[in-house]
Amino acid sequence: MEALILEPSLYTVKAILILDNDGERLFAKYYDDTYPSVKEQKAFEKNIFNKTHRTDSEIALLEGLTVVYKGSIDLYFYVIGSSYENELMLMAVLNCLFDSLSQMLRKNVEKRALLENMEGLFLAVDEIVDGGVILESDPQQVVHRVALRGEDVPLTEQTVSQVLQSAKEQIKWSLLR
Amino acid sequence: MLKKFDKKDEESGGGSNPFQHLEKSAVLQEARVFNETPINPRKCAHILTKILYLINQGEHLGTTEATEAFFAMTKLFQSNDPTLRRMCYLTIKEMSSIAEDVIIVTSSLTKDMTGKDDNYRGPAVRALCQITDSTMLQAIERYMKQAIVDKVPSVSSSALVSSLHLLKSSFDVVKRWVNEAQEAASSDNIMVQYHALGLLYHVRKNDRLAVNKMISKFTRHGLKSPFAYCMMIRVASKQLEEEDGSRDSPLFDFIESCLRNKHEMVVYEAASAIVNLPGCSAKELAPAVSVLQLFCSSPKAALRYAAVRTLNKVAMKHPSAVTACNLDLENLVTDSNRSIATLAITTLLKTGSESSIDRLMKQISSFMSEISDEFKVVVVQAISALCQKYPRKHAVLMNFLFTMLREEGGFEYKRAIVDCIISIIEENSESKETGLSHLCEFIEDCEFTVLATRILHLLGQEGPKTNNPSKYIRFIYNRVVLEHEEVRAGAVSALAKFGAQNEEMLPSILVLLKRCVMDDDNEVRDRATFYLSVLEQKQKALNAGYILNGLTVSIPGLERALQQYTLEPSEKPFDLKSVPLATTPIAEQRPESTPITAVKQPEKVAATRQEIFQEQLAAVPEFHGLGPLFKSSSEAVALTESETEYVVRCTKHTFLNHMVFQFDCTNTLNDQILENVTVQMEPTESYDILCYVPAKSLAYNQPGTCYTLVALPEGDPTAVACTFSCMMKFTVKDCDPTTGETDDEGYEDEYVLEDLEVTLADHILRVLKPNFGAAWDEVGEEFEKEETFTLSTIKTLEEAVGNIVKFLGMQPCERSDKVPENKNSHTLFLAGVFRGGHDILVRSRLVLTDTVTMQVTARSTEELPVDIILASVG
């Protein structure tokens, strides 16, 4: 941990990961060559998952990298940066990702909902971080830019189960309100 | 009720991951749908999602299949469905590095980028820049400039960030966009401002003045974005560091003012920048430390973590500055985030008083099992530092280390513990017995071969000197019975060391060694047989030479010498003295020379510097018949200033009766060529100059080498130290610096070099004797001489020890180069090998009164080296 003056850089994020409650990769985007091969990436993800999924603390130092994380039902969100990086910046990215998804999935941040909105996830991450540079940190902006049509899908194009699901969602939220 | 239903539903549908069993080939097959008209946007978007998901899972796409899918995808630009279009952009980015000819989408993307729909424009810019190389960039330059100053933030940000990525490949093009970036930097949008400042800095970072201007301009008006502040703080602290920080600079004021920013992110960045500035005084640290102190009680774990981690850094250099935070740190000791708790405790261990150690150690041991190996190593390091600070606490700390040693952990972690214990044993002789017995217990169940052999070696070295050596035998012999061959071999060596030093134990050791003679493994068997026959001779000198102190030759050197010997069969037996000795690295404090057992370590048998020299010298016909190279001086001495016309550096090579001076010369004049370069030498003592080997020609800036061979004085062999005055002689030929054509005619010239010193240290090799006492007895007192000197100019024992070691060029043994504090007498043990391969040992007793009085006792297997040493010291 030698004192080191950071080379000023906009490249803040090394990776964004989303794992399920078995530690399986649902989404992973690595922005630099810290873990060049898929094998190394998976090993790193396994290590991260083992060290974090049982605790609810939100930050850890693993393999010389700072990892901020957050769990939600059966999902685990991770943002990874260098150990010299400002932890609060990484936290801002994590919060933005989580809040954006939470809005897009109507507060229903869990594995199945996420898988049904995979394209939304891809687009949101693309709006938040570009090549390791933080592009946007305001969840409202992200949701606005992703602009998923959601409602305006013609009913005819939806499958029966999707219609049922969305009806159920609507009932649930109206009851909870 | 509803919730329950939901949950049940979820369980039944648990396996309904639509992406779970995707087959690459099936998905690519599906991609043919892209060619259908009319396009079904929903279906196509879903297929693109599947492709992206596959890439995301680490599936490898071949170039052909990727290109095929990519081309099919380009059809989708006909649809105006927004989601589908966005998925296309993503696919383009993902495939830009896999598929071929991705640039065919350039025109579609350019159209979207300049189109009306704002939601398309930003992503289109990013996708376009991803597929554009430096040759294509010129074509879209105009659009990029427009996009940078676009009033829609997402477009502007996208353009700026993409420009930043492009800097790596097309610096010269992007450089022309600074005016636009400058305009964007005054944007009201916080992200645009951040990206614009980042781009500006990266374009200008080599121009200090411009960077300074930029900082003062943007900080004067204040920034909107916290991210931009963080960036500016980093830029400012880097500038400060390069300026070698006068703290009156406005840059420092700026950083300090950021401590009062309303965003925590900025405040933390500023505090951490101040902490990391080199050579920061306690006064400058104080405001930073006090904001970190506030953060310690934040409800956000990340902020607490950041604060305590930074405080931990401060505590390494300025423990007193952190003392004010001790109370806040105490509260973090029980933090539910174990990383925070660990950092808090290790910080407290650095800043707290001796009395709090017991309590803190107890606290930390309660959750040691929950933290990651990285932090465990941090804890071990903190303990190791504590042991040096409070030697009296070693009992508590040792106990803690042993508990940790018994628990599960990776290699790095275990090694850190073992290192720490070994260093405690070395510092504290009282802790030796407990330490050794705990280590014995550890190797009873140790999965790491390297650690086991290392501990066995330590046991062999330290065990026999303890009060009750026999208790270690059982542990060591257990290794012979239970472990695999590497550890068994180490154990056999350790046993032999006990036998060599303890008469009473010898019979039982012999019995044990006899059992090992039947081992399955060659190495173990060989060692046992060898040690057995040495021990049975019952001669102290043999024990010392072959068991306790081992071989000191360089292993690759031995290999080469033996190979040479087998190639040229001769009547003479192989002479071990002809093998170059292993040189002991000067910086190495610990006895790293774990003999033979540690050879398995990954250190490659690379040719050392000396062996390279040896080969170079062997290629010069004049030097045949000098015998093996004994020693080369560790670094070349400069005989000129570094900025002069000719640069000459000298390396000294010592042979049995000769010395070779190697002059590495460089000609720094581009209008001259030097020919026939020699260095003429004039000795003050009776050295004989035998011959000069010239460097044929020295062209501009191409180093060349010439040699001078001298014979060591025969008449007065004790006069080894000598000064040579040197003069470089050569023929100059003028040449044209541009064409390189030279004149045919040259003229003689000379150039005076600085004097060259040959000292005693050039004749002695440093050799480590792990057991000095045994070596001392082995050499015997036949040629012992003793004399007493007064070192009138030296005021402390440390200084005396340092000077003696440097002057004699010998290796301090048994850590005797470390002078214990508050003592006024000390004994220094030095070992070396004199030219010709004679061991030489020096025991030097130092007494401090007002000045240092030194009694030197030297022993060797020959008389000459002893005389030379004493003559030189006097």
Asked if B336 and A135 come within 8 Å (Cβ–Cβ), the reply is no
- Please report which confidence band the pLDDT of residue B639 belongs to, taking 50, 70 and 90 as the band edges: confident
Please list every residue in chain B whose beta carbon sits closer than 8 Å to the beta carbon of residue A175: 2
The domain made up of B613-758 has a fold known as Immunoglobulin-like (2.60.40)
In the block, which residue shows the tokens 């030197």?
Answer: B856
Lowest model confidence (mean pLDDT) among B159-163, B233-237, B347-351: B347-351
Geometric angle at alpha carbon B628, from B627 and B630, rounded to 5°: 120
Considering only CB atoms, A5 lies closest to which of B164, B237, B301, namely: B237
The architecture in CATH of the region B764-873 reads 2-Layer Sandwich (3.30)
Pairing relationship of beta strands B672-683 and B695-698 according to DSSP bridges: antiparallel
ipTM: 0.82
pLDDT tens track for B267-286: 999 998 888 887 777 788 88
Residue B605 reports pLDDT greater than 60: no
User: What is the percent of chain A where pLDDT is above 90?
Assistant: 23
Geometric angle at alpha carbon A76, from A71 and A79, rounded to 5°: 105
Q: Give the pLDDT of residue B582.
A: 60
The crossing angle, in degrees rounded to 10, of helices A139-146 and A87-104 is 50
Tokens of B583: 């040189």
Considering only CB atoms, B374 lies closest to which of A62, A88, A134, namely: A62
Asked if A25 and B57 come within 8 Å (Cβ–Cβ), the reply is yes
Q: Are B343 and B381 in contact (CB under 8 A)?
A: no
b/e code B817-854 from CB counts within 10 Å (16+ = b): bebeeeeeebebbbbbbbbebbbbbbbbebebeeebbb
Element (H, E) at A69: strand A65-72
**Comparison of pLDDT for B23 and B545, the residue scoring more:** B23
Please list every residue in chain B whose beta carbon sits closer than 8 Å to the beta carbon of residue A27: 56
**Comparison of pLDDT for B281 and B131, the residue scoring more:** B131
What's the rounded mean pLDDT across residues B447-458? 86
The helix/strand count (H/E) of chain A reads as: 6, 7
Residue A105 reports pLDDT greater than 90: no
Total Cβ atoms within 10 A of residue B291: 17
Question: φ, ψ for residue A37 (rounded to 5)?
Answer: -105, 155
**Dihedral over alpha carbons B518, B519, B523, B529 (to 10 degrees):** -30
- The highest-confidence range among B154-163, B363-372, B618-627, B784-793, by mean pLDDT, is B154-163
Q: Are B92 and B102 in contact (CB under 8 A)?
A: yes
Q: Are A135 and B103 in contact (CB under 8 A)?
A: no
Chain mean pLDDT for chain B: 80
User: What is the percent of chain B where pLDDT is above 90?
Assistant: 2
Q: Give the pLDDT of residue B372.
A: 72
Asked if A130 and B53 come within 8 Å (Cβ–Cβ), the reply is no
Asked if A61 and B17 come within 8 Å (Cβ–Cβ), the reply is no
Residue B587 reports pLDDT greater than 50: no
Tell which of A4, A6, A79, A110 to mutate to test the B interface (max B CBs under 10 Å): A6
- HSE-up (13 A, CA, CB side) for residue B371: 26
pLDDT tens track for B489-526: 888 888 888 888 877 888 888 888 888 888 888 888 88
Tell which of A119, A138, A143, A169 to mutate to test the B interface (max B CBs under 10 Å): A119
Q: Give the pLDDT of residue A18.
A: 92
What's the rounded mean pLDDT across residues B756-783? 80
Asked whether the CA dihedral B714, B715, B716, B722 is positive or negative, the reply is negative
Geometric angle at alpha carbon B47, from B42 and B50, rounded to 5°: 130
Calpha distance B472→B494 (Å, rounded): 10
Geometric angle at alpha carbon B677, from B674 and B679, rounded to 5°: 140
Domain count of the fold of chain A: 1
pLDDT tens track for A33-56: 888 888 899 999 998 888 887 777
Calpha distance B295→B275 (Å, rounded): 15
- Please report which confidence band the pLDDT of residue B244 belongs to, taking 50, 70 and 90 as the band edges: low
What's the rounded mean pLDDT across residues B618-645? 78
Q: Give the pLDDT of residue B594.
A: 32
Residue B291 reports pLDDT greater than 80: yes
Q: Would you call B386 helix, strand, or coil by DSSP?
A: helix
Instruction: Please give the residue of chain A at the shortest CA–CA distance from B195.
Output: A10
- Please report which confidence band the pLDDT of residue A92 belongs to, taking 50, 70 and 90 as the band edges: very high
Backbone dihedral region of B421: left (phi > 0), alpha (psi from -120 to 50 degrees) or beta? alpha
Calpha distance B301→A60 (Å, rounded): 10
Q: Give the pLDDT of residue B323.
A: 81
Q: Give the pLDDT of residue B7.
A: 40
Please list every residue in chain A whose beta carbon sits closer than 8 Å to the beta carbon of residue B275: 3
CATH (domain of A122): 3.30.450.60
Q: Are B686 and B710 in contact (CB under 8 A)?
A: no
B621-628 CB contacts, 8 Å cutoff, 24+ apart: B622/B691, B622/B693, B622/B707, B622/B709, B623/B660, B623/B707, B623/B709, B626/B655, B626/B656, B626/B657, B626/B658, B626/B660, B627/B578, B627/B655, B627/B656, B627/B657, B628/B561, B628/B578, B628/B579, B628/B580, B628/B655, B628/B656
What's the rounded mean pLDDT across residues B94-122? 84
Is the pTM above the cut of 0.80?
Answer: no
b/e code B456-468 from CB counts within 10 Å (16+ = b): bbbbbbbbbeeee
Considering only CB atoms, A147 lies closest to which of B119, B238, B336, namely: B119
- Please report which confidence band the pLDDT of residue B578 belongs to, taking 50, 70 and 90 as the band edges: low
Asked if A137 and B227 come within 8 Å (Cβ–Cβ), the reply is yes
- HSE-up (13 A, CA, CB side) for residue B671: 0
Q: How far is CA B630 from CA A13, B557, B580, B627, B760, in A?
A: 55, 12, 6, 9, 14
Element (H, E) at B209: helix B208-221
Calpha distance B686→B722 (Å, rounded): 9
Asked if B10 and A112 come within 8 Å (Cβ–Cβ), the reply is yes
What's the rounded mean pLDDT across residues B725-743? 81
The nearest CA of chain B is from the CA of A24 a distance in Å of 10
What's the rounded mean pLDDT across residues B651-670? 84
- Please report which confidence band the pLDDT of residue B6 belongs to, taking 50, 70 and 90 as the band edges: very low
Q: Are A76 and A69 in contact (CB under 8 A)?
A: yes
Instruction: Please give the residue of chain A at the shortest CA–CA distance from B152.
Output: A145
What's the rounded mean pLDDT across residues B297-306? 88
Residue B844 reports pLDDT greater than 60: yes
Please list every residue in chain A whose beta carbon sits closer than 8 Å to the beta carbon of residue B123: 126
The domain segmentation of chain B, as residue ranges, is 444-548, 613-758, 764-873
Residue A78 reports pLDDT greater than 80: yes
Q: Give the pLDDT of residue B874.
A: 63
Element (H, E) at B275: helix B264-276
Asked if B234 and A126 come within 8 Å (Cβ–Cβ), the reply is no
- Please report which confidence band the pLDDT of residue A14 belongs to, taking 50, 70 and 90 as the band edges: very high
Residue A150 reports pLDDT greater than 60: no
Considering only CB atoms, A87 lies closest to which of B53, B83, B306, namely: B306
Q: What residues make up the domain containing A48?
A: 2-176
Beta strands per DSSP E along B609-755: 631-632, 637-638, 646-654, 658-667, 672-683, 688-693, 695-698, 704-711, 722-734, 747-752
What's the rounded mean pLDDT across residues B755-768? 81
Calpha distance B719→B871 (Å, rounded): 8
pLDDT tens track for B187-222: 888 889 999 999 999 888 888 888 888 888 887 777
Calpha distance B463→B461 (Å, rounded): 6
The helix/strand count (H/E) of chain B reads as: 37, 17
Considering only CB atoms, A58 lies closest to which of B19, B264, B301, namely: B301
Q: How many CB pairs under 8 A join A and B?
A: 179
Which letter does DSSP use for residue B735 in this model?
B
Question: φ, ψ for residue A39 (rounded to 5)?
Answer: -60, -45
Q: How far is CA B152 from CA A6, B189, B223, in A?
A: 31, 9, 19
Closest CA to B48 of B33, B65, B64, B63: B33
Calpha distance B402→B361 (Å, rounded): 13
